[in-house]
Amino acid sequence: MKAVILAAGKGTRMKELTKTIPKPMVNINDKPMLEYVIRSIHNLGIKDFGIVVGYKQSIVQEYFKDGSLFDVSITYIEQKEQNGTGDALHLAKYFTSDEPFFFSFGDVLTSEENYTGMLEYYKKASCDFLLGLNRVDDPYRGAAVYLDDDNNIVRMIEKPPKGKSTTNLNNAGIMVLSNEIFDYTARLKPSPRGEYELTDVFGMLKDDERNLKGYPLSGYWKDIGTPEDLKSINELLA
């Protein structure tokens, strides 16, 4: 199995912290957050990584090089225009070949057991697509996800109105995906924000009645999007 990590964004909410470096290279206890993601996925036995880079990509490449210092092999995939996560994933099509692959955003950290748990669940459930889900008070900042009793995803709403969701499950940005995902990313149209949104793909999957399941995470989960998030994760992992 290979892994794909999205690390192309600037992270405007990080303010001055990303003025000279891309967000996934912001340090957490003296290591770039992207290194934590790579090491966690590597602990699954995965060694072949495709990293989608864009904003100040040379900083990522100069730090990780070919990956050999981290016991992995890294292929860099350039997103020339930061126009959405759906487009960023689609660029990895020829890297992944025909096999399922592990996928993560480069600015999301979670407890180690979730990586192992997701991969084991994916194999047992024999599903096409598995999404990690974290629990929040209100998923209005992300994507609200509704499950049935068998963990099938029955509905997903991107950035729902605050206080209107009846689920506390949120798309966590960590997934195990069939290579068939690229049949859907190829069909994406720009959203009202002018971006190719990965969440729109999941609506297509539901319309086609594909086997799409959710995996509620345990332990901690953090999307490092603001200086406050960075302070919190530094304290947690110290």
Residue 176, pLDDT score: 97
Q: What are the domain boundaries of the chain?
A: 2-237
Residue 143, pLDDT score: 85
Q: Using 50 as the pLDDT threshold, list the residues of the chain that sit under it.
A: none
Residue 192, pLDDT score: 84
Spatial distance between the Cα atoms of 9 and 197, rounded to a whole number of angstroms: 14
Q: What is the CATH number that goes with domain 2-237?
A: 3.90.550.10
Taking alpha carbons only, the member of 123, 128, 109, 133 closest to residue 206 is 128
Residue 121, pLDDT score: 96
- The pTM for the full model equals 0.93
For tokens 């860099």, name the residue.
76
Residue 67, pLDDT score: 97
Q: E strands within 24-142?
A: 27-28, 31-32, 48-53, 73-78, 101-105, 108-110, 129-135
| Count of other CB atoms within 10 angstroms of residue 143 | 22
Instruction: Tell how strand 212-216 and strand 143-147 pair up.
Output: unpaired
Residue 122, pLDDT score: 95
Q: How does pLDDT run across 103-131, given as a tens digit for each residue?
A: 999 999 999 999 999 999 999 998 999 99
**57-64 and 33-42 are packed helices; what angle lies between their axes, rounded to 10 degrees?**
50
Taking alpha carbons only, the member of 159, 155, 2 closest to residue 73 is 2
Residue 51, pLDDT score: 98
Q: How many CA atoms lie within 13 A of 83 on its CB side?
A: 15
Residue 173, pLDDT score: 93
Q: What are the tokens at 232?
A: 């919190």
Residue 117, pLDDT score: 96
